Amino acid sequence: MTSRTLVLLRHAKADRPDGIGDLERPLTERGHADAAAAGAWLAHHGYAPDLVICSPARRTRQTWHGVAVAMAEASADAGAPTVRYEAALYAEGHHALLAVVKAVPAETSTVLLVGHNPDISLLSAMLDPDGANDSDGLRTSGLAVHRFDGDWASLAAGGAATAGSHTARG
């Protein structure tokens, strides 16, 4: 059986400027620093994704950018992952997120999913067989690392133990 790693990342701290729709909310200064800290943590722990699946919202795209820059700075030999922006990661529910993960190509070993609460936390809680993750537990820039053996297509509730978690702060 093939070992798989799914890293769930809630976007970094975002601003709520007047006149800006939710999809276009930018990160705050702290959010940019926290995204970089998340990338440094991922690099330090060896969680280099083969595939990044990111919500199309501005704050998630900016979070991924900060993570990517920090990972590249921390590990010069890290290759660039494939990045996909998926509308299903924006307010379509944690079951939609699971469906996106189940469709990951079989040759992919590590996936980074960059999304929003409550869905990202609900997915983390649903996947953990021990129920160790609180359904609203991921704070901004919060990471949950899940591991399982098998195919992405067979991933189901209770099927991916939590191997680690971290709330990144820059």
**pLDDT bucket at 94, cuts 50 / 70 / 90:** very high
Total domains in the fold of the chain: 1
Q: Could you tell me the residue range of the domain that residue 45 belongs to?
A: 3-167
Percent of residues, the chain, with pLDDT higher than 90: 89
In angstroms, the CA 9 to CA 117 distance is 10
**pLDDT at residue 72 in the model:** 92
| CATH number of the domain encompassing residue 125 | 3.40.50.1240
**pLDDT at residue 128 in the model:** 93
Task: Enter the pTM of the model.
Answer: 0.96
CA–CA distance from 124 to each of 25, 42, 62, 121, 165 (Å)? 24, 17, 22, 5, 10
Count of C-beta atoms within a 10 Å radius of residue 11: 30
pLDDT tens for each residue of 63-93: 999 999 999 998 766 678 999 999 999 989 9
Classify residue 14 by its DSSP letter: B
**pLDDT at residue 85 in the model:** 98
The mean of the pLDDT values for the chain is 94
**pLDDT at residue 1 in the model:** 72
CA–CA distance from 52 to each of 75, 83, 135, 157 (Å)? 17, 5, 22, 21
CA angle 87, 29, 68 (to 5 degrees): 55
Percent of residues, the chain, with pLDDT higher than 70: 95
pLDDT tens for each residue of 131-148: 766 655 899 999 999 999
Tokens (6 digits) for 167? 């709330």
**pLDDT bucket at 164, cuts 50 / 70 / 90:** very high
CA–CA distance from 140 to each of 63, 88, 100, 111 (Å)? 10, 20, 22, 19
pLDDT tens for each residue of 47-71: 999 999 999 999 999 999 999 999 9
